[in-house]
Amino acid sequence: MSGPEQAVLKAVWELLQTKYKHGHWDRVSSPAKLYKGRPVKPKNLGMADIVGCLHGQYVAIECKTEDRHSGNPDTRKRQAEWGADVVKADGLYRIARSAQDVDDLLKELE
């Protein structure tokens, strides 16, 4: 995750830990892993940056910058597929470019 995206993630996480602390939230990371000196692909490729539950509703949040063309195209494709799977399962999936995007989404659940 790049510096600007990290700033969005930090702002969203702070919102969730203050205004929506009555929900359950987890940050997801996919650090590079090595096994016997070789890279191993994590199972959660494409998974949202933050997942959680608010009032019984599963919520997945992917943090992005305003630059819609940044990042690896393969990663963007996996994220879109993962998000579509969440929606098919009646979960909420949003791409957040700011904490306000997340606040607007979660206000609907309050």
**Structure confidence at residue 60 (pLDDT):** 97
Q: What is the pLDDT of residues 53-64, one digit of tens each?
A: 999 999 999 998
Q: What is the pLDDT of residues 31-48, one digit of tens each?
A: 556 667 766 666 677 889
**Structure confidence at residue 69 (pLDDT):** 55
How do strand 57-63 and strand 50-54 relate by DSSP bridges? Answer: antiparallel
How many CB atoms lie under 10 A from the CB of residue 92?
18
Q: Which residue positions in the chain have pLDDT lower than 50?
A: none
- Listed residue (107, 102, 104, 110) closest to 25, CA to CA: 102
pTM reported for the whole predicted model:
0.82
**Structure confidence at residue 10 (pLDDT):** 95
